[in-house]
Amino acid sequence: MKKHNFSAGPCILPQSVLKKAAEAVLNFDGLDLSLIEISHRSKQFVAVMERAQELALEHLGLQNKGYKALFLQGGASMEFLMVAYNLLEKKAGYLDTGTWSAKSIKEAKLFGEIDVIASSKDSNYNQIPKGYTIPSGLDYLHCTSNNTIFGTQMNDFPEVDCPLICDMSSDIFSRVLDFTKFDLIYAGAQKNMGPAGTTLIIIKEEILGKVSRVIPSMLDYKVHISKDSMFNTPAVFPVYVSMLTLEWLKEQGGVAAIEKINNKKADLLYSEIDRNPLFKGFVANKEDRSKMNATFTLENETLKETFDAMCAEAGINGLNGHRSVGGYRASIYNAMPLESVQVLVDVMQELEKKA
Ligand SMILES: *Cc1c(COP(=O)(O)O)cnc(C)c1O
């Protein structure tokens, strides 16, 4: 039986998607050729790329609104520098809400002045900063919607008079937002969309072409837009699997429908963390808790061995917390079924009975 995979990333994908992906590796589209041995310029693969881009925009309600979807390589980490390379002329604002935010700030500092407008670093990122004011005249404001490592998630996004850029790597397609607020959204595929190897970038074209520096072709969003993500050979397999996941999401009823299930999963797990005296949540304020990554610890570390053994026995995988937080992290992305969350909750309750 397949394990209950709570891994933070690369992470769980729908079983039906994995099956179709496996079939396409052997024989794609009845061609008697593998998906990964045909030209990326064949009409069959061009159709995959176009469909993946179309579905990404459709799920976010961004079709025909001046946005383009790109599937590039280099991970979300490459976007930390590409964003600055393409958009930073003098000064940009950043919200520092976790390790990934901090990394994006480090890269952007190579290209201009960075104003860290708010930070929760002093409390080991256990909350989302609030009550800050954003100065005017920034080239852009960058934020991270979900802090994968610490288990916090932004619910309110600031009103700004500059482009709003968001790293949505670990919660894209998990909830409904007014995505038209954002001018550039990026997400590494491997958290909620597909295998590692491709990054989705959704960009409002009008924000480009405003910096004075010369941009190398591979780092230039305009080049990738003009070549429809095929300036160089795209990551054909990750793009294909992402397309399958986006089709799967459509079959589930889209982002609004999956959000309802995601809310149920998060409620189930956080209720148990709050109820069960053996556990405590890591995040300071309930309203900042992530619905994708739930971080928690044991009140009494001596129970760790028993709990870990019980989890293993129940087929639970990937529950270890990140080394900078410790304890446990249950990643409950779109493809994680409610039943698997119930299995974890059952184990937590069994531990309480035993202890
Ligand atoms: C995982 C993650 C990244 C890094 O993604 P890579 O594709 O490994 O570069 C960046 N931001 C967030 C929010 C993440 O969860």
Q: For 46-66, how does the pLDDT look when each residue is reduced to its tens digit (9 = 90+)?
A: 999 999 999 999 999 999 999
Distance (angstroms) between ligand 1 centre and the Cα of 81 equals 13
Query: 3-state SS of the chain: helix, strand, coil percent to 5?
Result: 40, 15, 40
pTM of the model: 0.98
* Cβ atoms 295, 325 nearer than 8 A: yes
CA-derived radius of gyration, the chain: 21
Share of the chain above pLDDT 70, in %: 100
Residue nearest ligand 1's atom 13 by CA: 169
- The mean per-residue pLDDT over the stretch 254-280 comes to 98
Burial of 102 (0-12, 13-18, 19+ CB in 10 A): middle
Sheet holding 67-72, edge to edge: 67-72, 199-204, 184-188, 164-167, 141-144, 91-96, 113-119
Catalytic residue among 96, 171, 183, 191: 191
Distance (Å) of CA 143 to CA 101, 104, 169, 232, 240: 7, 9, 11, 29, 28
Residue that is written with structure tokens 């491709």 in the block:
198
pLDDT, residue 249, reads 98
Distance (angstroms) between ligand 1 centre and the Cα of 252 equals 25
- From the list 157, 105, 99, 113, the residue with the least C-alpha distance to 132 is 157
Distance (Å) of CA 57 to CA 19, 25, 70, 196: 25, 26, 10, 20
- The mean per-residue pLDDT over the stretch 324-346 comes to 97
How is residue 279 written in tokens? 């556990």
pLDDT, residue 29, reads 94
pLDDT, residue 101, reads 98
Is pLDDT at 1 greater than 90 in this prediction?
A: no
* Cβ atoms 269, 328 nearer than 8 A: no
As a whole number of angstroms, the distance between CA 319 and CA 336 comes to 13
pLDDT, residue 64, reads 97
Determine whether 191 is an active site residue.
yes
Determine whether 167 is an active site residue.
yes
Is pLDDT at 355 greater than 90 in this prediction?
A: no
φ/ψ region of 229 (left if φ > 0, alpha if ψ in -120 to 50, else beta) reads left
Which helix H or strand E contains 57, and what residues bound it? Answer: helix 43-59
- The mean per-residue pLDDT over the stretch 224-237 comes to 98
As a whole number of angstroms, the distance between CA 97 and CA 271 comes to 24
Determine whether 100 is an active site residue.
yes
* Sign of the torsion angle spanned by Cα atoms 74, 332, 238, 256: negative
- The mean per-residue pLDDT over the stretch 158-172 comes to 97
- From the list 24, 22, 47, the residue with the least C-alpha distance to 230 is 47
Residue nearest ligand 1's atom 8 by CA: 75
Taking all residues of the chain, what is their mean pLDDT, rounded to a whole number? Answer: 97
Residue nearest ligand 1's atom 7 by CA: 75
Is pLDDT at 5 greater than 90 in this prediction?
A: yes
How is residue 318 written in tokens? 């990937």
- The mean per-residue pLDDT over the stretch 219-224 comes to 98
Distance (angstroms) between ligand 1 centre and the Cα of 300 equals 31
Distance (angstroms) between ligand 1 centre and the Cα of 133 equals 27
pLDDT, residue 119, reads 98
Provide the CA 218 distance to its chain's centre, in angstroms.
Answer: 23
pLDDT, residue 178, reads 98
* Sign of the torsion angle spanned by Cα atoms 260, 19, 44, 188: positive
Catalytic residue among 68, 96, 139, 167: 167
In which band, very low, low, confident or very high, does the pLDDT at 316 lie, cut at 50, 70 and 90?
Answer: very high
